[in-house]
Structure 1
């Protein structure tokens, strides 16, 4: 047998082994297990951005054009923040890459009506590195954990360092709640 054929056979065998593909003893076992798995998954409601209820300041709107990232649009029509979601994990670790030219100046946990929130304040720059401009504004991240349901990740900035902006973000975070998703039958 040529060397290329042996390599292909070994590669395909490895793929089946590593990906967990196998041939079951009977089709009945596979069918029964699949139905049980689907039934169990159908009983668990899926929480995501469509479950989010949030109140924004007067004149603001929530742009839901992207189903994975909602945008908070301020009264001037500018994006002031973004919201995404993640499935709930008890030990969720926020692994977001920080924006260029920013550093964490505060990392705290606050209590919201919806659950715990990790509130991170970044000191951010408004300009290219060559400009030499540093620390021009704060950007805030809120990681809201709603027990056993969903995690919402929000970022927010008014492109300033005013403490009123942080309070405005906390006020928005305090309005978060859930609309129960419809369970498909």
Structure 2
């Protein structure tokens, strides 16, 4: 009985020694970082990550958009910018009497492809404006579609101006009449065109 007790005690001491050695060899668990440090990104890097370069956007809008156009207009008139490439001309009564559109420059730009439906070109004249040379088109347009019951026609004027082989301005004007004074007024308005920023010459 005494020998058996000694053997059990010896076995117990041996097991405790082994377990103590294992606990000393164990590595402490690696702590998990739950709050990562934020990485700062500059404004330019953020823009590039989104596919935009701020200087390119600003320059493009300022040089080639309708917002680059300065137009001396009668009192009460305004140019309402609808998009980067389109603006409405509004008179003192809030009525739209014209527009400005921009198109990329093309050697073969043909105004006939852009003119309104139910209209015919009755005359074409060369013009020279402060922002560039171009052509003045007079169109005879229907007063309304056949379904509207409106009859007769009116004159619509379009100035197509090429800007240093970079872009094309198309300006429309009409008072829904056939008065020579309307055309004269439009020509006078064209002489009041200016650019806020000169476009880059390629």
- Normalising by the residue count of structure 2, what TM-score does the alignment of the two structures yield? 0.61
Question: C-alpha distance in 1, partners of 2:139/2:165?
Answer: 28
Runs in 1 of length 4+ with deviation above 6 angstroms? Answer: none
* Distance of 2:136 and 2:175 partners within structure 1: 16
RMSD of the TM alignment (CA)? 2.8
How far apart are 1:116 and its partner, in Å? 0.9
User: What's the CA shift for 1:180?
Assistant: 1.4
Is 1:133 equivalent to 2:151 in the alignment?
yes
Instruction: Indicate how the Cα distance of structure 1 residues 48 and 171 shifts in structure 2: closer, same or farther if over 3 A, else same.
Output: same
8 Å contact 2:121–2:140 — kept in the other structure? yes
Q: Which runs of 5+ in 1 are unaligned?
A: 1-41
Q: Distance in 2 between matches of 1:117 and 1:174?
A: 12
Q: 1:12-91 to 2 correspondence within 5 Å?
A: 46=60, 47-91=64-108
Q: 2:50 maps to what in 1?
A: none
Classify the secondary structure of the residue corresponding to 2:82.
coil
Distance 2:102 2:71 in 1: 13
Counterpart position of 2:140: 123
Residue of structure 1 in register with 2:126 after alignment: 109
List gaps (5 residues or longer) in structure 2.
1-55
Aligned residues: 142
Shift of 1:68: 2.5
SS at match of 1:65: strand
Task: Say which SS state the counterpart of residue 136 (structure 2) adopts.
Answer: strand
Structure 1 residues 141-162: Cα deviation after superposition (integer angstroms, max 9, x where no partner): 1101122343111111011111
TM-score with structure 1 setting the length: 0.66
Alignment check: 8 A CA contact 1:48 1:150 kept? no
Q: Distance in 2 between matches of 1:51 and 1:124?
A: 30
- Greater relative contact order (CA < 8 Å, ≥ 6 in sequence): 1
Corresponding residue of 1:19: none
Is residue 2:179 matched to residue 1:150? no
Q: Secondary structure at the match of 2:125?
A: strand
Alignment partners' CA distance in 2, 1:101 and 1:148: 30
Greater Rg over alpha carbons, structure: 2
